[in-house]
Amino acid sequence: MIELKSERQLDSMRQACRIVRLVLEELKKRVKPGISTIELDKISAELIGSYGGVPAFKGYRGFPANICTSVNEAIVHGIPSKRVLKDGDIISLDVGVKFDGYFGDAAFTLAVGDISQTAKKLIDITSEALYIGIAQAYNYNRLSNISYGIQNFVENNGFSVVREFVGHGIGTSMHEDPKIPNFGRPDEGPSLKAGMVLAIEPMINEGLPDVEILDDGWTAVTLDRKLSAHFEHTVLITETKAEVLT
Ligand code: MG
């Protein structure tokens, strides 16, 4: 796990994260019934390039696209395609950017047109769960208090936490130690320190937590084919709290 020491490191990290944020803000405006996920991919690649960044997911372990677009029962790692979004869908958009050797990573789930009450609640709870995790990301707190906070909140609201995928340290690689599960007991794992950068990312299912990987080798879907949502921020631990960089 990286611990940012110099202003230059921190500047590059901030820039990578800023590009992620700008891309996600643009995608938020573009997501509507009628747009295809490959169009969203193309928009993202152009924007990332225009800011001097590189799409971090492209080619990562052979991933074939620039961003991940995971629709409805897809949890994460959906591959952009000709699939056209329709009213009532939900879509999780995950964007990773490399800038000057440093990585930023963030995601959110959006409604496409009018969605069900259940879908709305799933999105709201997952978004809130991320901020509950971030609230535990402070100097000297134990890592698993992030995990425990997220799981406790999500399960009290009747949803389930995906076990197969977890948050992570981030810095000069996209995925660094430590792993940050979205479940676990309190007061375990390493103590957090100012300067650490973490990607916290609850993946929350409407039904059972179980996962299946589709034949494309990437797309993770819920085994019961119920909905899933995903929110992620890259955050910097400071002396007082976590600063959201994305
Ligand atoms: Mg991530």
Residue-by-residue pLDDT tens, the chain, 246 positions? 667 668 888 999 999 999 999 999 999 999 999 999 999 999 999 999 999 999 999 999 999 999 999 999 999 999 999 999 999 999 999 999 999 999 999 999 999 999 999 999 999 999 999 999 999 999 999 999 999 999 999 999 999 999 999 999 999 999 999 999 999 999 999 999 999 999 999 999 999 999 999 999 999 999 999 999 999 999 999 988 899 999
Say how many Å lie between the CA of residue 70 and the centre of ligand 1. Answer: 14
Handedness of CA 47, 217, 208, 165 (dihedral sign): negative
Domains and CATH numbers, the chain: 7-244 (3.90.230.10)
Say how many Å lie between the CA of residue 100 and the centre of ligand 1. Answer: 19
Say how many Å lie between the CA of residue 10 and the centre of ligand 1. Answer: 19
Structure token digits, residue 39: 């169009």
Say how many Å lie between the CA of residue 107 and the centre of ligand 1. Answer: 8
Indicate the pTM of the whole model.
Answer: 0.97
Say how many Å lie between the CA of residue 168 and the centre of ligand 1. Answer: 7
CA distance 28 to 231: 14
Say how many Å lie between the CA of residue 58 and the centre of ligand 1. Answer: 14
Say how many Å lie between the CA of residue 202 and the centre of ligand 1. Answer: 10
Say how many Å lie between the CA of residue 163 and the centre of ligand 1. Answer: 14
Say how many Å lie between the CA of residue 35 and the centre of ligand 1. Answer: 25
Say how many Å lie between the CA of residue 233 and the centre of ligand 1. Answer: 8
DSSP β-bridge partners for residue 96 = 105
- Nearest CA-CA partner of 196 in 210, 208, 180, 182: 180
Say how many Å lie between the CA of residue 169 and the centre of ligand 1. Answer: 9
DSSP β-bridge partners for residue 211 = 222
Say how many Å lie between the CA of residue 221 and the centre of ligand 1. Answer: 17
Say how many Å lie between the CA of residue 48 and the centre of ligand 1. Answer: 17
Say how many Å lie between the CA of residue 189 and the centre of ligand 1. Answer: 19
91: Cβ–Cβ under 8 A, 6 or more apart, which residues? 31, 37, 69, 70, 71, 72, 85, 109, 110, 112
Say how many Å lie between the CA of residue 234 and the centre of ligand 1. Answer: 8
Angle at 128 between CA 174 and CA 67, to 5 degrees: 35
